[in-house]
């Protein structure tokens, strides 16, 4: 694997290999010394053009556990805010000898541009581009689901027959898109539930069932309910009347949470708007995987960095 740009382009074998390597990386996290020498002498740059806390520190922790040198480059307060182009930034990073670049960018497709540009020869990992994709988030979600279902017997398995209901701001969510492709590849069935205004106009190419009624979706007893954040920063119009109305119809409130079937797990990529898309009782219950998702994110990102950067990049 040379770059990790999307889950749409991952094969089932590639996806399961990545999840299995993440299992090995999770074992490392349980050791007294959490560090592996694998990427010693390599440089990983976290290039963040959008605000982020958990994804950036997760990649930073992952790279450090593999002994790479890490440079954090955030566009705010940098030469980018002085008008430097992606090309000039990339050439600067290339001149500094970056072996891997983890990029988050508000424009859909920016990581692909960087990977195909010839400006820099590093392995590129997409850490979220606009409303397009966020592949490591989907991989950590799949990893989390697989572990909850199969525990230590997870290795080698997909998610065949698992039902996943993803609720909320589908229109603006790169997490929803990356999950859709990956879950489909792994054999799961995806249902999207959202206000009609927060679903794209044409979803005919999506391998998903689309619905608008959260209560019916809850009563169907899905294995996984994944709540998405309302992405107010990407909204340039009124997509729903107000937040009370949103949570009344599409929020996982205490009443809906109590009706969830006893085997269902509750997921959220963070950051959560408590009381809007998810109640505190649901977020903090033992059926919620929110904190596991954060921990598993480090293992999955270690696996991605390992696959892209260990060994000779010319041969990969
Ligand atoms: C997600 C993102 O940035 O796309 N968050 C994250 O990676 N921590 C989801 C979100 O912002 O709602």
Nearest-angstrom CA–CA distance, 300 and 59? 9
What is the 3-state secondary structure of 58-89? HHHHHHHHCCCEEEEEECCCCHHHHCCCHHHH
> 110 and 22 share a domain?
yes
Nearest-angstrom CA–CA distance, 137 and 56? 12
> 252 and 219 share a domain?
yes
The verdict on residue 6 lying in a domain is no
The answer, yes or no, to whether residue 315 has pLDDT greater than 80, is: no
The answer, yes or no, to whether residue 84 has pLDDT greater than 90, is: no
65 is in an annotated binding site: no
Mean pLDDT score across all residues of the chain? 94
The answer, yes or no, to whether residue 313 has pLDDT greater than 60, is: no
The verdict on residue 200 lying in a domain is yes
Residue 216 confidence class, pLDDT cut points 50, 70, 90: very high
Mean pLDDT of 133-150: 98
> 159 and 175 share a domain?
yes
The per-residue pLDDT for 124 is: 98
> 218 and 122 share a domain?
no
55 is in an annotated binding site: yes
- In whole angstroms, how far apart are CA 212 and each of 86, 209, 228? 39, 10, 15
Nearest-angstrom CA–CA distance, 164 and 179? 10
The per-residue pLDDT for 191 is: 98
> 279 and 146 share a domain?
yes
The per-residue pLDDT for 316 is: 42
CA of 72 to the centre of ligand 1 (A): 18
Residues forming beta bridges with residue 251, ordered by sequence position? none
Query: What would the DSSP string read from start to end of 91-155?
Result: HHHHHTT-SEEEEEESSTTHHHHHHHSSS--SEEEEEEETTTB-HHHHHHHHHHHHHHHHGGG-T
Per residue in 267-310, pLDDT (tens digit) is 999 999 999 999 999 999 999 999 999 999 999 999 999 999 99
CA of 32 to the centre of ligand 1 (A): 31
* CATH number of domain containing 302: 3.40.50.1370
- Angle subtended by helix axes 174-185 and 12-29, to nearest 10: 110
- Residue ranges making up the domain that contains 247: 137-289
Name which residue sits closest to atom 12 of ligand 1, judged by CA: 229
Q: What is the biggest distance separating any 2 CA atoms in the chain, rounded to whole angstroms?
A: 57
> 176 and 39 share a domain?
no
Mean pLDDT of 253-258: 97
CA of 131 to the centre of ligand 1 (A): 10
Ligand 1 pocket, residues with Cβ under 6 angstroms: 54-55, 128, 134, 137, 174-175, 229, 231, 269-270
Specify the number of domains making up the chain.
2
> 144 and 215 share a domain?
yes
The verdict on residue 91 lying in a domain is yes
> 50 and 127 share a domain?
yes
The verdict on residue 101 lying in a domain is yes
> 158 and 208 share a domain?
yes
> 155 and 285 share a domain?
yes
> 275 and 298 share a domain?
no
Nearest-angstrom CA–CA distance, 308 and 316? 8
229 is in an annotated binding site: yes
Compare 76 and 202 and report the one with higher pLDDT: 202
Q: Cα Rg for the chain, rounded, in angstroms?
A: 19
CA of 211 to the centre of ligand 1 (A): 23
Per residue in 21-74, pLDDT (tens digit) is 999 999 998 899 989 999 999 999 999 999 888 999 999 999 999 999 999 988
82 is in an annotated binding site: yes
Compare 238 and 127 and report the one with higher pLDDT: 127
The per-residue pLDDT for 170 is: 97
Nearest-angstrom CA–CA distance, 40 and 18? 21
Name which residue sits closest to atom 3 of ligand 1, judged by CA: 128
Atom of ligand 1 nearest to the CA of 169: 12
Nearest-angstrom CA–CA distance, 252 and 202? 26
The verdict on residue 7 lying in a domain is no
Helix, strand, coil percent values for the chain (each to nearest 5): 40, 15, 40
The answer, yes or no, to whether residue 83 has pLDDT greater than 70, is: no
Pairing of strands 208-211, 224-227: unpaired
> 16 and 160 share a domain?
no
9-23, 75-89, 125-139, range with the lowest pLDDT: 75-89
291 is in an annotated binding site: no
Task: Choose one of 60, 270, 297, 300 to mutate for the ligand 1 pocket test, by most ligand atoms within 8 angstroms of C-beta.
Answer: 270
Pairing of strands 123-129, 100-105: parallel
The verdict on residue 99 lying in a domain is yes
Per residue in 228-254, pLDDT (tens digit) is 998 888 777 778 888 889 999 999 999
The verdict on residue 5 lying in a domain is no
Place of tokens 């079937």: 261
The answer, yes or no, to whether residue 82 has pLDDT greater than 60, is: yes
Contact 118, 86 (CB under 8 A): no
The verdict on residue 2 lying in a domain is no
CA of 41 to the centre of ligand 1 (A): 30
Distant-in-sequence, close-in-space partners of 219: CB < 8 Å, separation ≥ 6? 259
Compare 232 and 137 and report the one with higher pLDDT: 137
Q: How many secondary structure helices (H) and strands (E) does the chain include?
A: 11, 9
The answer, yes or no, to whether residue 314 has pLDDT greater than 60, is: no
């Amino acid at each position: 694997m040379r770059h990790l740009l999307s889950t749409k382009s991952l094969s089932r074998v590639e996806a399961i290999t990545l999840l299995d390597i993440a299992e090995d990386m999770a074992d490392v996290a349980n050791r007294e010394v959490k560090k592996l020498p694998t990427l010693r002498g390599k440089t990983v740059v976290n290039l963040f053009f959008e605000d982020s806390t958990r994804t950036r520190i997760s990649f930073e922790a992952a790279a450090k556990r593999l002994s790479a040198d890490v440079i954090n480059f955030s566009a705010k307060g940098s030469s980018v805010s002085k008008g430097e182009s992606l090309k000039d930034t990339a050439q600067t990073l290339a001149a500094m000898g970056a072996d891997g670049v983890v990029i988050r960018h508000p424009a859909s497709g920016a990581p692909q541009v960087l990977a195909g540009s010839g400006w820099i020869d590093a392995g590129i990992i997409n850490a979220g581009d606009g409303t397009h994709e966020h592949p490591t988030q989907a991989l950590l979600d799949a990893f989390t689901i697989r572990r909850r279902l199969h525990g230590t017997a997870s290795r080698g398995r997909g998610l065949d027959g698992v039902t996943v209901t993803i609720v909320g701001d589908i229109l603006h969510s790169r997490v929803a898109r990356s999950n859709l492709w990956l879950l489909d590849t792994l054999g799961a069935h995806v249902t999207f539930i959202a206000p009609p205004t927060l679903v794209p106009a044409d979803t005919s190419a999506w391998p998903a069932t689309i619905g608008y009624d959260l209560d019916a979706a809850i009563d169907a007893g899905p294995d996984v309910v994944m709540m998405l954040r309302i992405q107010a920063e990407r909204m340039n119009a009124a997509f729903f009347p107000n937040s009370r109305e949103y949570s009344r119809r599409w929020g996982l409130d205490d009443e809906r949470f109590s009706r969830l079937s006893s085997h269902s797990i509750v997921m959220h990529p963070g950051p959560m708007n408590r009381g809007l898309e998810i109640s505190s009782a649901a977020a903090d219950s033992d059926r919620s995987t929110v904190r596991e998702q954060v921990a598993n994110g480090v293992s999955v990102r270690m696996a991605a960095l390992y696959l892209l950067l260990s060994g000779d990049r010319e041969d990969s």
